[in-house]
Homo-oligomer: A and B are copies of this chain.
Amino acid sequence: MSDVTASQALRAEIRSGAFQRPTSGQAPGYVQANLVVVPREYAYDFLLFCQRNPKPCPLLEVIDAGEVAPRRLAPTADIRSDVPRYRVWIKGELAEEPTDVRSVWRDDFVSFLLGCSFSFEKPLLDAGLEVRYVSCGSNVSMYRTSIPCREAGPFAGPMVVSMRPFRPADALRATLITGARPQVHGAPIHQGNPAEIGIGDINRPDYGDPQPIHEGEIPVFWACGVTPQAVLLNAKLPIAITHAPGHMFVSDLTDDALPWFSESVR
């Protein structure tokens, strides 16, 4: 007899320290988000970077300096304690991986919550498409490309993409399904020849695991949420905080509501 959602229950466990694991498969149906925290001094440039690169950096919400709750995504959350594991970066170097960042928090920190491709896996599966790394129980393959992001202040670098293999007809269906979800990277940015976007060996991803590509399939590439983290680290800010890979922020927004989320002001 509770009005607590699965997302709220999970965040309470995370906040207490009882849950410190990756969030994949947890609180199914609720949108999970990437976290980037920078001092206010750098927030304009990072916000501009996201505005200029909406496919790799689909911005779901900005928590302004002096606040710790994402008003729209999860009004009862505290961004300083509700991620299972954080990474604290000092001048681009990993300093620590705490489960709570209240001890290093400053009132001038601005938090950016960015969409994550977890949110389009279920719609792909629901449409009867096979998502290879899900079938294999492995991590998605990710690659640095030769596609430059549009710069903003100190934030610059190449786009990172994720790859999913599909038969050509299924690639078209996957394009429509993901294209309806610009808040989680939207439609693919390339299909076919990996060399055209600067990928040398499709079997050697820069991040994640290799995936088998079967006869008759083509690789399909989506802008990836690793891009903003890579760009952030290149910028070597005095301090920045992100989530640890796979340890996402779990919001109260449902995947089904996502296609309409940033569209509506009401």
Q: Which residues of A contact B (CB under 8 A)?
A: 40, 43-44, 47-48, 50-56, 59, 62, 64, 147, 149-150, 152-153, 159, 182, 186-187, 189, 223, 262-266
Contacts and interface: CB of A to CB of B under 8 A. Distances in A.
Contacts of A59: 51
Nearest to A59: B51
Contacts of A43: 44
A197 to B, nearest CB: 9
Contacts of A149: 265
A147 B266 contact: yes
Nearest to A260: B187
29 contacts: A43-B44, A44-B44, A44-B47, A47-B47, A47-B48, A47-B51, A48-B62, A51-B51, A51-B59, A51-B62, A52-B62, A53-B265, A54-B262, A54-B263, A54-B265, A55-B263, A55-B264, A64-B152, A64-B153, A147-B265, A147-B266, A149-B265, A150-B265, A159-B265, A182-B263, A186-B263, A187-B263, A189-B264, A189-B265
A226 to B, nearest CB: 15
Contacts of A48: 47, 62, 64
> What 3 A-B pairs have minimum CB-CB distances, sorted nearest first?
A44-B44, A55-B265, A47-B47
Nearest to A182: B263
Contacts of A186: 263
Given A40-B44, A54-B263, 16 more contacts: A44-B47, A47-B47, A47-B51, A48-B64, A50-B51, A51-B59, A53-B265, A55-B263, A55-B265, A147-B266, A150-B265, A182-B263, A186-B263, A189-B264, A189-B266, A223-B265
A59 B59 CA distance: 14
Contacts of A223: 265
Contacts of A54: 262-263, 265
Contacts of A64: 48, 152-153
A186 B261 CA distance: 13
